[in-house]
Chains A and B, each alone.
Chain A
Amino acid sequence: MSPPTPHSLLQQLHAAEQQLNQIIVGKPQAIRLALACVLAQGHLLIEDIPGVGKTTLAHALAQVLGLAFARIQFTSDLLPADLLGVSVYERNEARFHFHPGPIFTQVLLADEINRATAKTQSALLEAMAERQVTLDGQTHSLPAPFFVIATQNPQQQIGTFPLPESQLDRFLLRIELGYPSPAAERALLEGTDRQVLLQQTSPLLDTQHLIAAQTAIQQLTLSPALLDYVQALIAHTRRDTQFVYGLSPRAALGLVHASKAWAWLNGRNMVLPDDVQHVFVAVAGHRLISKHSHRNDFAAAQQILTQVAIP
């Protein structure tokens, strides 16, 4: 099979996006961000109240991209072993045999991640960062495109363990779905069941194509003018006294990756300040903590965009 041309790759991804838009109605921005996140090889955090289609989006994404999918519902009694797998002693072979846990998949949906205890959360997040699992001194690599979509309920809800800042930093993007518009909701109510739609969905890409797209995005070059803008934004968060910490270099790198993916998805080979602005809130929102409320301040992140001049 000849390597796919960039143009055909983009077409395939647009087709996949269209498919997703049919399943999740009225959320094209969130869907494009989710796709950009996959293409930038980052992990995605979806935060919203229950029942707005978080799980559906994750499932559909895996389905459309033709990736192996596993889902774990996080609960307060979920143990790291339930996630990573266990070594079981096989009597007839007289040795330990590793039974991989649900994490050994390509797309892992960690549903309601903030319901699990900190221990389990950190087991997952470690695997996310290193893309491998170490158990009993043995290292098991995770499959090649490994992508975690975690969903989270807003933290005001009772019985949740909020993710610490260091863990939040591992998610490249964080998106909100929000209620659908009345028209979209009507279409949702009139249309067929989402589950049925999901089952009918056929993969539009395969792993190889996805990796090719990811490589193409990585190879996009950035102009000095754009880097100036990214640095100005980052520097502003560090100077601004209303945040506890400024953005980390990892966040800056994430911003660059996400902007590249966004530009590529929009069919461009150059990255523009517009791309940075589109992904900025999703990249920075969960990483900036307001001094006043000690919570993530998305409005403030949005405001930064109006406070920093484009060089």
Chain B
Amino acid sequence: MSMSRQLSPQEQQQLGVLMLLVCLPHLMMQTPWLSGLLGLLLLTYCGLRPQWRTQIPRHFSLLLATLSLLLVNQVHQTLIGREAGVAVLIALCISKLYETRSVRDAHAMLLLAFFATGISFLHGQAPWQAALAGLALVATVCIALRLENKVLTLGISIKTAIKICLQAIPLAILLFILFPRLPAPLWSLPNETAARTGLSGDKMSPGSLNQLIQDDRIAFRAQFNGMAPRQTQLYWRGPVFDQFDGQSWLPATAHSSNPPPIIARGPQVNYSITLEPHQQNWLLALDLPTQFPQSAMLNSQLQLIQRSPISQRLRYTASSTLHWQTLGNADTAAALQLPPSLNPKTVSLAQSWQQQAPAQRVQSGLQWLKTQHFSYTLTPPLLEKKDRIDEFLFESKQGYCEHYASAFAVLMRAANVPARIVTGYQGGQFNPNGNYYMIRQADAHAWVEVWLPEQGWQRVDPTFVVSPTRIENGFENSFASRLQNDALPSLLSRNATFIKAMRLQLDAWVNHWNQWVIAYDSQRQLNLLQRLGINDFLSWRFLLYLCGGLLLILGGFLVYFLHRNPAQPTDMASQLFARYCKKLHRYQLYQAPHETASQFAVRCQIAQPELAASMIEITNLYLAARYAQDSSALAQLKIAIKRFA
């Protein structure tokens, strides 16, 4: 191998700019001051004077590497793990950049650039991140091309880089579709405490949902197979709470492992859900799920949970029944627990219904709420007394779903009806562009479940009694008229129809992206392959598709590269003359490409004087046939060349 060429200052600067582009998605995700520092180092390198860049001492980059590793350790308290690992990689990239001198160093930098772009998807796989990675890919290829060929202008190298990337797409798509996916990770994901969003499964206290009302983000998307249920029936079941401490509701401490048997009393609704990662282990399903993915299980609270937290966007299909009956009375004791000697007014109110049947007691409670002039508001007065439920039911009488659910559950328990709180989402916005429902964090809701002797656990929504519009028309309709509050998410305010339509369209695209690119997992891959008639990765049919696709793509390129621009089509005269030239190879006479026929003839005559006469004749006939387009000369040329020894 020859000695590696030294880089010019311009090439070093180009590498610096490339690294800046490549590190950008990573720097955006790091702690601000660490990314600021690393970004500053990159900018400094790009802005250095050319002669300084070549004179950076070698040990400077070593020093830089040590310092930045220390910094990373300071920030992340570790050097391994996902976030810290990425930070280490970026820090090392930047240190290496400072000692880049030769083409070999530049090669290492380019490999690092490819790698850093590839792992930028650890931070997320949104379309804009994909676009940024695509840009970085083209830039890296472009710099790689320029490094090898100094003659290339910037415009040509960009064009070539784009062309190379586009030509890579067929093979990439084929492999993407057919390459077998792992059903489970080979090694476990490093435990990251990523920020949790949305509903909390740990605790429910008044005010926790209030923050979600202002959150415009999508919690999940749902698509129904067949008819969608009515808006009032769209209760998306999430975490269940059955321990009340006077202020907050907590999940049950001990679960009996098996859920009570469910008997469906209505038609089954089939749907699929694309759940945004929320870093917790419960899934959402329409109240009440009967079929669900195998990775999940239904616990005794009828809550759908999964073993590991949802850290990736998850897509699953499930079925639910809208009317049901549960059997058994497990858990009913726990569902009667109340903190002792609290809320005396509430307790005495409930005890006044003791004589009624349990179902009647529920109705009485709802009737009481209806007649007592409660109002639904997002800005209730603060409850500060020890007996909060009393304060709410008998004094303030203003609140939202959480207050109502909490108070009603306490009321029911006091009336000796087992009750618990179910949180989740209610309703959703239909997106006609993609024929699916978008359920936002703002749709978060809480309701009550009571246990009745004949029916088992049944849903009761006290909010529906207080503010029927909230449930019937969805949150947006019920509130937009009453509350022209800036705190509401922009999408919920009705006046911006155009923007709304655009955002719906955009969300439809995002949904397609999520479903077909991000969530194309082993399950979906199997489904797709089954549609193609492939049941197994080891079947001959799979191999046929894989090899056939590969051959088609490679063969296509082969034809494109090797047989494009064939030699120019030749006319009859030049074909004949080529035959004559081939005959002359016997005498070690070769026509140079730029040599005219007459010059060649002169050379041939000197070399082979005995053939001079026929050579002159052939040359003259050829010239006449080719350049004067004399057809009789062409005929004679044919004969003369045939005769030529």
Q: Which of A272, A305, A307 has the most CB of B within 10 A?
A: A272
- Residue-by-residue, is A285-311 near B (CB-CB < 8 Å gives 1, otherwise 0)? 000000000000000000001111111
A-B contact pairs, 25 of them (CB 8 A): A223-B626, A223-B627, A223-B629, A225-B574, A225-B626, A269-B628, A270-B623, A270-B624, A270-B627, A270-B628, A271-B627, A272-B597, A273-B596, A273-B597, A274-B596, A274-B598, A274-B599, A277-B596, A305-B594, A306-B594, A308-B594, A309-B594, A310-B594, A310-B595, A311-B568
Q: Return chain A residues, CB-CB under 8 Å to B624.
A: 270
- Residue-by-residue, is A240-278 near B (CB-CB < 8 Å gives 1, otherwise 0)? 010000000000000000000000000001111110010
A-contacting residues of B (Cβ < 8 Å)? 151, 568, 571, 574, 593-599, 623-624, 626-629
Additional pairs, 18, CB under 8 Å, beyond known A225-B571, A271-B627: A223-B629, A225-B574, A225-B626, A225-B627, A228-B568, A270-B623, A270-B624, A272-B597, A272-B627, A273-B596, A274-B596, A274-B599, A305-B594, A309-B593, A309-B594, A310-B593, A310-B594, A310-B595
Q: Which of A226, A273, A308 has the most CB of B within 10 A?
A: A273
Chain A minimum-CB-distance residue to B598:
A274
Alpha-carbon separation in the docked complex, A305 to B596 (Å): 11
Chain B minimum-CB-distance residue to A226:
B627
Q: Return chain A residues, CB-CB under 8 Å to B598.
A: 272, 274
Alpha-carbon separation in the docked complex, A41 to B227 (Å): 87
Q: Return chain A residues, CB-CB under 8 Å to B626.
A: 223, 225
Alpha-carbon separation in the docked complex, A271 to B598 (Å): 13
Q: Return chain A residues, CB-CB under 8 Å to B595.
A: 310
Q: Return chain A residues, CB-CB under 8 Å to B599.
A: 274
Alpha-carbon separation in the docked complex, A223 to B623 (Å): 11
B-contacting residues of A (Cβ < 8 Å)? 223, 225-226, 228, 241, 269-274, 277, 305-311
Alpha-carbon separation in the docked complex, A225 to B628 (Å): 10
Chain B minimum-CB-distance residue to A308:
B594
With both chains docked as a complex, state the minimum distance between the C-beta of B109 and any C-beta of chain A, in angstroms.
28
Q: Return chain B residues, CB-CB under 8 Å to A277.
A: 596
Alpha-carbon separation in the docked complex, A271 to B624 (Å): 10
Alpha-carbon separation in the docked complex, A271 to B628 (Å): 8
Alpha-carbon separation in the docked complex, A226 to B597 (Å): 13
Alpha-carbon separation in the docked complex, A310 to B574 (Å): 11
Q: Which of B568, B596, B597 has the most CB of A within 10 A?
A: B596
Q: Point out the residue from B151, B596, B629 that lies within 8 Å of A310, measured CB to CB.
A: B596
Alpha-carbon separation in the docked complex, A273 to B596 (Å): 6
Alpha-carbon separation in the docked complex, A277 to B628 (Å): 18
Q: Return chain B residues, CB-CB under 8 Å to A228.
A: 568
Alpha-carbon separation in the docked complex, A270 to B594 (Å): 19
Chain A minimum-CB-distance residue to B595:
A310
With both chains docked as a complex, state the minimum distance between the C-beta of A48 and any C-beta of chain B, in angstroms.
28
With both chains docked as a complex, state the minimum distance between the C-beta of B276 and any C-beta of chain A, in angstroms.
54
Q: Which of A241, A269, A270, A308 has the most CB of B within 10 A?
A: A270
Query: Judging by beta carbons under 8 Å apart, are B627 and A241 in contact?
Result: no
Alpha-carbon separation in the docked complex, A272 to B628 (Å): 9
With both chains docked as a complex, state the minimum distance between the C-beta of B287 and any C-beta of chain A, in angstroms.
72
Alpha-carbon separation in the docked complex, A270 to B571 (Å): 18
Alpha-carbon separation in the docked complex, A101 to B299 (Å): 112
Q: Return chain A residues, CB-CB under 8 Å to B623.
A: 270, 272
Alpha-carbon separation in the docked complex, A269 to B627 (Å): 10
Q: Which of B593, B598, B624, B627 has the most CB of A within 10 A?
A: B627
Alpha-carbon separation in the docked complex, A228 to B623 (Å): 15
Chain B minimum-CB-distance residue to A274:
B596
Q: Return chain B residues, CB-CB under 8 Å to A307.
A: 594
Q: Return chain A residues, CB-CB under 8 Å to B574.
A: 225
Q: Return chain B residues, CB-CB under 8 Å to A273.
A: 596-597, 627
Q: Return chain B residues, CB-CB under 8 Å to A305.
A: 594
Q: Return chain B residues, CB-CB under 8 Å to A310.
A: 593-596
With both chains docked as a complex, state the minimum distance between the C-beta of A116 and any C-beta of chain B, in angstroms.
39
Chain A minimum-CB-distance residue to B568:
A311
Chain A minimum-CB-distance residue to B571:
A225
Q: Return chain A residues, CB-CB under 8 Å to B593.
A: 309-310
Alpha-carbon separation in the docked complex, A122 to B574 (Å): 47
With both chains docked as a complex, state the minimum distance between the C-beta of A148 and any C-beta of chain B, in angstroms.
32
Q: Return chain B residues, CB-CB under 8 Å to A308.
A: 594
Chain A minimum-CB-distance residue to B593:
A309
Closest 5 A/B residue pairs (Cβ):
A309-B593, A270-B628, A270-B627, A273-B596, A223-B627
Q: Which of B571, B594, B624 has the most CB of A within 10 A?
A: B594
Q: Return chain A residues, CB-CB under 8 Å to B627.
A: 223, 225-226, 270-273
Alpha-carbon separation in the docked complex, A272 to B627 (Å): 6
With both chains docked as a complex, state the minimum distance between the C-beta of A171 and any C-beta of chain B, in angstroms.
26
Alpha-carbon separation in the docked complex, A145 to B599 (Å): 35
Alpha-carbon separation in the docked complex, A307 to B597 (Å): 16
With both chains docked as a complex, state the minimum distance between the C-beta of A280 and any C-beta of chain B, in angstroms.
11
With both chains docked as a complex, state the minimum distance between the C-beta of B154 and any C-beta of chain A, in angstroms.
14
Q: Return chain B residues, CB-CB under 8 Å to A309.
A: 593-594
With both chains docked as a complex, state the minimum distance between the C-beta of A292 and any C-beta of chain B, in angstroms.
14
Q: Return chain B residues, CB-CB under 8 Å to A241.
A: 151
Alpha-carbon separation in the docked complex, A273 to B593 (Å): 12
